[in-house]
Structure 1
């Protein structure tokens, strides 16, 4: 074992991580949820996609500014440490390694299996789908652990592949809908069912999973060539591109079939839309690209998940840093950290099944692990943005004051939206979150604390 990661990724890989992780499972997985949340009100749904994307762009811009100035081991963890302090950086890294990365990775593994199950005609929560989710999880880990460079090439390839169904639906679906009048009908019908609570906030919280993942690109900054230039470019360009693709796809989807069909279709809603526009055979073929898209997202998340414990160990913090700090000489991969990342993802996949896909195993502690960890990370961004205003005095006003303030406002918006839409589920999630952070405090290597 050695202790350093070499520079092996270029700008294209970084952009592919931002675009490839964000675009993929969420836009297909959450499109129907946004429609259901808004009662089928299409303009309100488009507004929710725009607001969720705006939050991502503002936050990504702020981290892009930090990326031009700081380059250490693990991107966002580095920024948390520099801006707020070493202790905060450690707890941020612990949260990312034990909750955020593995929770997101496990859900995407199931989403990839879910759409495979739709193609095969299986139950999306049945034994076939869950075994396939586990296989996808282990397969993605194997690719990243054995050949990180190949995993990077796979990320670029799947990013290109996943734009095919999105682009075709955006263009052809829009034309199809304008010709047959479905799009006009969907835009003018308003809400077709009554919804409780605040539909906009609920929908925006739904989009947060579809937009999440861009922060994972910062996890490879120690392995990115010319990171101070390439990482900011990837964050800004990638996030803006994602928002445009999502909104155009959502409009195209509205031209394919009536809103009530998408809402009633559940997991088959996207397949119905593709089959309607491109015929049954064409729809099935394009849906294969949807599965590939999900696997690309899984690959990018796994790439970040495998480096979670290494981010702490490289600072001589967290559990057994002497074990998780090792990097394999042959693959230049933090192998022990990768194994621990896979284990944490397996734990969260088990939780997701028990909490969301079957009769609840955990009583009141059942929550959607595809959403609440994301809300937590937005809350944890706030101290970073505040200290950016305090410390970065040499930056111009726009970068030092205006954008960080917008970052705080965007993060608070997501937190408030979650509180309004998810209510009591947040309380039980926060209890679990607190328990995990207490474990992190007990395992912190205080001997190396400065």
Structure 2
């Protein structure tokens, strides 16, 4: 029951929650995709980190309004249902269950396995080497999260501490040892244009900023959400954006953009140059722990979506997927996400998987932003402990930013986009079939 939520979260706790939710593995690996898209030039890449951060902040401020007003378990899926009805709510949950969560988990497992291969002196592009590692880490974490949520929570705490260490060390020593160079010029290389590369760079940065949608879920436990939630969102995401910009400047001061564009692990390359072979490996292990923590986070939280759908009787196999063991784990839902993640991981393509998931989830983010404005008109008397500041400017910026990303991806990466849309739309006949059985 929402009435049982204790309002004990203050501003600082909310601020740290925002930072902890967002910073993950993307900042260590996405520079490769960004500078590949700019043809080895730094300028547009740095600008993309700034624009991606601003779009994320406006999105967080907008989505938090509905999270504060209706703080129900289920997050975006529940809010889409509130805005557009049960069918659209199911479709959001279906997309998260069969595409976003397993696709993102697979992407992280692939990059984890590539880092492991490099540490072991193996070819990180050799699928026979990386796939067993990727699938193995997914299955290992699935077993841990089947035991219960408390163990997964402890792993998260350790990983959160470990992911800050390589970030701080690379930023500090990158500025001390690196050479100051122009970071805004050239904007793009000779084989790229700003118009063609901007969408690709934004998709890459938005993967690194992913996690912001969950920020609003703490609203029901905040002492003063109307005052503290917007400050926590703006402050927390501003800190994340600053950290991302600083570490990318540090990357560029140690290794030029054209080298980062071809590195499997840009952060690993920079760490090796800063700290030598052994020091670089230690930093790489820290990065792997960070990715491991992100992986665990998805396998800890993602099963709640198919579990909720199963409890509602809208998902095939609902009686099986809605089961919970003595440890409080929806164990069959955990294994559904894990098996799907293993299937996606067989591609061995980190950037392809992350682009696919970010494109599709941003369609529903845009629908969420539109829904916030829709509810302002349809339910003006709804109690809102927090309202979007500068309304309607902030939601409109979030909507326009999201639409640019979505339509640009459709134009520049049509096959990936259509694949994501098709997987999502498969949910419609499934919903109709389950509804007819009732």
Q: TM-score, normalised by structure 2?
A: 0.85
1:425-440 to 2 correspondence within 5 Å?
A: 425-434=416-425, 436-440=426-430
* Alpha-carbon distance in 1 for matches of 2:388, 2:237: 23
- Pair 143,326 (structure 1): closer, same or farther in 2 beyond 3 Å: same
Report deviation, 1:28. 1.9
Report deviation, 1:172. 1.6
Report deviation, 1:46. 0.5
**Is contact 1:68-1:232 (8 Å) kept?**
no
- Pair 175,134 (structure 1): closer, same or farther in 2 beyond 3 Å: same
Report deviation, 1:21. 5.5
Q: 1:210 aligns with which of 208, 212, 216?
A: 208
Report deviation, 1:191. 4.2
SS of 2:431's equivalent in the other structure is helix
Q: 2:312 aligns with which of 307, 311, 315?
A: 315
* Alpha-carbon distance in 2 for matches of 1:23, 1:210: 7
1:72 equivalent in structure 2 = 72
Q: 1:375 aligns with which of 359, 363, 375?
A: 359
Report deviation, 1:104. 0.7
Q: 2:369 aligns with which of 385, 408, 424?
A: 385
1:173 equivalent in structure 2 = 174
Q: 2:431 aligns with which of 434, 438, 441?
A: 441
- Pair 391,106 (structure 1): closer, same or farther in 2 beyond 3 Å: same
2:405 equivalent in structure 1 = 414
- Pair 159,236 (structure 1): closer, same or farther in 2 beyond 3 Å: farther
1:260 equivalent in structure 2 = 258
**Is contact 1:17-1:214 (8 Å) kept?**
no
* Alpha-carbon distance in 2 for matches of 1:98, 1:221: 26
Report deviation, 1:105. 0.7
Kindly indicate whether residue 271 of structure 2 is the aligned counterpart of residue 279 of structure 1: no
**Is contact 1:33-1:206 (8 Å) kept?**
yes
1:151 equivalent in structure 2 = 152
> How well do the aligned residues superpose, as a CA RMSD in angstroms?
3.3
**Is contact 2:183-2:249 (8 Å) kept?**
no
* Alpha-carbon distance in 2 for matches of 1:38, 1:251: 16
User: Once the two structures are superposed, what CA deviation does each residue of 1:84-113 show, in whole Å capped at 9, x if it has no partner?
Assistant: 222211111111111111111111111111
Structure 2 unpaired stretches of 5+: none
1:364 equivalent in structure 2 = none
Report deviation, 1:45. 0.9
> Which stretch shifts more, 102-111 or 373-382?
373-382
* Alpha-carbon distance in 2 for matches of 1:221, 1:447: 36
**Is contact 1:17-1:155 (8 Å) kept?**
no
SS of 2:74's equivalent in the other structure is coil
- Pair 75,268 (structure 1): closer, same or farther in 2 beyond 3 Å: closer
- Pair 226,312 (structure 1): closer, same or farther in 2 beyond 3 Å: farther
Report deviation, 1:253. 0.6
* Alpha-carbon distance in 2 for matches of 1:13, 1:446: 46
**Is contact 1:118-1:267 (8 Å) kept?**
no
1:343 equivalent in structure 2 = 339
- Pair 403,188 (structure 1): closer, same or farther in 2 beyond 3 Å: closer
**Is contact 2:95-2:423 (8 Å) kept?**
no
- Pair 446,149 (structure 1): closer, same or farther in 2 beyond 3 Å: farther
SS of 2:69's equivalent in the other structure is coil
Kindly indicate whether residue 393 of structure 2 is the aligned counterpart of residue 402 of structure 1: yes
1:40-51 to 2 correspondence within 5 Å?
A: 40-51=40-51
Structure 1 unpaired stretches of 5+: 358-366
**Is contact 2:30-2:205 (8 Å) kept?**
yes
* Alpha-carbon distance in 1 for matches of 2:366, 2:276: 47
**Is contact 1:80-1:92 (8 Å) kept?**
yes
1:50-199 to 2 correspondence within 5 Å?
A: 50-124=50-124, 125-177=126-178, 182-184=179-181, 188=185, 191-195=188-192, 198-199=196-197
* Alpha-carbon distance in 2 for matches of 1:410, 1:254: 27
Aligned length: 424
- Pair 397,129 (structure 1): closer, same or farther in 2 beyond 3 Å: closer
User: Once the two structures are superposed, what CA deviation does each residue of 1:356-384 show, in whole Å capped at 9, x if it has no partner?
Assistant: 49xxxxxxxxx922112211221122333
User: Once the two structures are superposed, what CA deviation does each residue of 1:87-140 show, in whole Å capped at 9, x if it has no partner?
Assistant: 211111111111111111111111111111111121223323211111110122
* Alpha-carbon distance in 1 for matches of 2:103, 2:259: 30
Q: TM-score, normalised by structure 1?
A: 0.83
